[in-house]
Amino acid sequence: MDTTGILDEALQRLHTTGPERLGRLSNHAPMAVEALAAHGQARSVHRWLDLYTPKLEEFPSAVAPVTAADWRGALGDPRRAADWIDHFGREIAERPWRDVLTEWWPRLLPGLYGGAAHPVIRVGHAVRTLLAGEATEPRLTELAHGLGYWAARHHPVTDLTPLPGADSAAAALDTVTPLAERDGGFPDRLARVRSLPTWAAAVTDSDPDAAHRRLAELVRAATHRYATHGHGDATMLVHAATAPNAVLRALPALPRPLWAPSLRAAWTACAAVTAMYAPDAPVAYTPPATLAPEEVLELALEHGDEHVIKLTDTALDVGDEHALAAALRSIELSEPLR
């Protein structure tokens, strides 16, 4: 992990910017710089950030403080992003960050799907950093930004009709039926998702170890699947893997009774993104070469696209040849950062 302070410097730069731009596109920089630092590329963080910074907007204006008495009314209101970030900043300053995460995780989990799941992904990166090293002020502030963004974009998915699934995560993803109408952005498509397979439902709250195993299996299956299905939407299908991986990264910081509900929410997010953006048919993919993990990361960094970096980060977590192939496929499919 970065021990030079470079990550903290980058996060301080980013905390003057907002969680979104153009009212709908997420600020990916905190996630990407954390991924680079986590994999030994701290020396490249500021250079990459200099290229990405023109995409960012100023931190939004506050509306009114979020309080213990009225927080439910502010939940899911993107106009209140600054208020929510300030709220979590105060909470984390006053209490241990794990206590704040434990209190708010079950409140926020039903709305994991807002903001194309970017808020929970940002939280997952922040938690990984805190678990791996010192809880510095910039890293704690980053958790506050991630939780605040999640609260502001909180968007539940309800009344889904359960469909038969399959025994494995990979087979269950194969049973997801793509939407008949696949026009419009993420919110429009998400509103059309009315039924999904029930692969994660068999894991009970009393078996957290099974939830952890299944979640790791889901991350692996979704990452592998990108190699053959990523052409459906090179950007959005990244989140089918990175969203459940963010939840997986958070589990060690959460009480074990929260693990099974977290699995179910992660499965719904992964399956919904699959229904919204997967192509009608896969294509065979053979990587141009067999590369070591560090070589794949170097290629992702050279390419520069934030989604490529994030999928490569997840592929490195999975760590097998098929996952690295998915990362290489994302490099081929995505426009480089310029």
171 domain-assigned = yes
Query: Are 261 and 181 in a shared domain?
Result: yes
> Do residues 143 and 14 share a domain?
yes
Final residue belonging to a domain, choices 98, 128, 152? 152
Residues 132, 40 share a domain? yes
Residue 61 structural domain: 6-152
Chain centroid offset of residue 200 CA: 19
CA distances from 4 to 32, 42, 211, 247, 298 (A): 17, 8, 36, 27, 20
User: Is 129 in the same domain as 237?
Assistant: no
Residue 1 lies in a domain: no
Q: Which of 176, 331, 205, 148 is nearest to 269 (CA)?
A: 176
- Give the whole-angstrom CA distance, residue 45 versus residue 207: 39
Residue 208 and residue 313 in one domain: yes
Q: 108 lies in a domain? A: yes
Sign of CA dihedral 191, 194, 197, 199: positive
Instruction: Look up residue 256 and give its DSSP letter.
Output: G
**What is the tally of structural domains in the chain?**
2
- Mark whether 50 and 79 lie in a shared domain: yes
Question: Within this chain, do residues 166 and 125 fall inside the same structural domain, yes or no?
Answer: no
User: Of the residues 152, 176, 196, which one is the last residue of a structural domain?
Assistant: 152
Q: Which of 25, 31, 75 is nearest to 187 (CA)?
A: 25
Rounded mean pLDDT for each run of 10 residues along the chain, 338 residues in total:
80 97 94 96 95 96 96 97 98 98 98 97 98 95 98 96 94 96 93 95 91 98 98 98 98 98 97 96 93 97 98 98 98 95
Contact between residue 37 and residue 64 where contact means Cβ atoms under 8 Å apart: no
Residue 124 lies in a domain: yes
Which two structure tokens, joined as six digits, stand for 178?
Answer: 């793509």
Kindly state whether residues 23 and 166 are assigned to the same domain. no
**First-last CA distance in the chain:** 27
Does one domain contain both 65 and 146? Answer: yes
Q: Are 249 and 138 part of one and the same domain? A: no
The single-letter code of the amino acid at 179 is: L
Residue with tokens 């469909």: 163
Residues 273 and 175 in one domain: yes
Domain boundary among 132, 152, 172: 152
The model's pLDDT over 57-79, given as tens digits with 9 standing for 90+, comes to 999 999 999 999 999 999 999 99
* 165 and 252 together in one domain: yes
Q: What is the DSSP string of 74-116?
A: HTT-GGGHHHHHHHHHHHHHHS-HHHHHHHHHHHHGGGBTGGG
List the structure tokens of 200: 């994660």
What is the pLDDT, as a whole number, of residue 3? Answer: 57
> Where does the chain have alpha helices with state H?
6-14, 29-38, 45-52, 71-74, 81-94, 97-108, 118-132, 137-152, 169-174, 186-192, 208-229, 239-250, 259-277, 293-303, 306-318, 321-333
Is 88 a member of any domain? yes
User: 104: which 2 tokens?
Assistant: 């708010």
